[in-house]
A and B are shown apart, each in its own frame.
Chain A
Amino acid sequence: DSGVTQTPKHLITATGQRVTLRCSPRSGDLSVYWYQQSLDQGLQFLIQYYNGEERAKGNILERFSAQQFPDLHSELNLSSLELGDSALYFCASSVTSGRANTGELFFGEGSRLTVL
């Protein structure tokens, strides 16, 4: 058990809909990352938050948005869903040395999104 909790584990929805994925980081971790993993197993970095503020942005579509709340949990919002958005979405939290990343990430089990 990594200590990172993601909900829901599975989600099936239709094109054009909107969903919210939730992540609770490990106790004490201030950084939260979101990744998308497609069927061909590649990991795409979406976005990172540190202590409530956006820290880094990757290949995140404009239809997607995220935030980190004062209690450090994070939500990833996916809207106007398309078939190609079907994927595993992982949240990770990290050990940081002050504000610096250490590269040591703890991943949740993922939320599997299926868009029909």
Chain B
Amino acid sequence: GDSVTQMEGPVTLSEEAFLTINCTYTATGYPSLFWYVQYPGEGLQLLLKATKADDKGSNKGFEATYRKETTSFHLEKGSVQVSDSAVYFCALLSSASKIIFGSGTRLSIRP
């Protein structure tokens, strides 16, 4: 069945460091791909999305590119801030119209 695999956390970085959180997927067809973020004490919120191969989603300095050849959708940010500390979830919308989330990656940024 369709699935999403994320790198295990927690990930701890210093402020202004470069961030990559890996996400790969298994799916039939060409799913839409998403990154959601959950700040402490809050619900998840959509961070960015991409709906077809080679699309790049971007928001708040974060970017992710839909790579069909490697079935990946890695999240990147050039310079992280303390306020980026959160849990990040990769997700896909399958051809059967199901929304499947990865297990989440906790990110902590040190001042």
| A residues at B contact (CB < 8 Å) | 2, 4, 33, 41-43, 45, 56, 90, 92, 100-110
Alpha-carbon gap, A105 to B91, bound state (A): 11
Are B93 and A101 in contact, with the CB atoms below 8 A?
yes
Among B91, B92, B93, which residue has the most Cβ atoms of chain A within 10 A?
Answer: B93
Are B43 and A43 in contact, with the CB atoms below 8 A?
no
Q: In the complex, what residue of chain B is closest to A58 when comparing beta carbons?
A: B98
Alpha-carbon gap, A95 to B69, bound state (A): 29
Would A103 and B49 be within 8 Å (CB), given that A2-B43, A90-B43, A110-B43 are in contact? yes
**Which residues in A have their C-beta under 8 angstroms from that of B44?**
43, 90, 92, 105, 107
Are B97 and A100 in contact, with the CB atoms below 8 A?
yes
Q: Assess whether B101 is interfacial by the CB under 8 Å rule.
A: yes
Are B99 and A41 in contact, with the CB atoms below 8 A?
no
**Which residues in A have their C-beta under 8 angstroms from that of B45?**
2, 106-107
Q: Assess whether B73 is interfacial by the CB under 8 Å rule.
A: no
21 A-B pairs within 8 Å (CB atoms) are namely A4-B43, A41-B103, A42-B103, A43-B104, A45-B99, A45-B101, A90-B43, A90-B44, A92-B43, A100-B97, A101-B97, A101-B99, A103-B91, A103-B92, A103-B93, A104-B49, A105-B46, A105-B99, A106-B46, A107-B44, A109-B43
**Which residues in B have their C-beta under 8 angstroms from that of A109?**
41-43
Q: How many B residues touch the partner, as a band?
A: 20 to 34
Q: In the complex, what residue of chain A is closest to B104 when comparing beta carbons?
A: A41
**Which residues in B have their C-beta under 8 angstroms from that of A107?**
43-45
**Which residues in A have their C-beta under 8 angstroms from that of B104?**
41-43
Would A108 and B91 be within 8 Å (CB), given that A56-B98, A101-B97, A103-B34 are in contact? no
Interface string of B49-63 (1 = CB under 8 A from A): 100000000000000
Closest CB in chain B relative to A99 CB, distance in Å: 9
**Which residues in B have their C-beta under 8 angstroms from that of A101?**
93, 97-99
Among B36, B92, B97, B101, which residue has the most Cβ atoms of chain A within 10 A?
Answer: B97
CB-based closest 4 A-B pairs: A107-B43, A103-B93, A101-B97, A107-B44
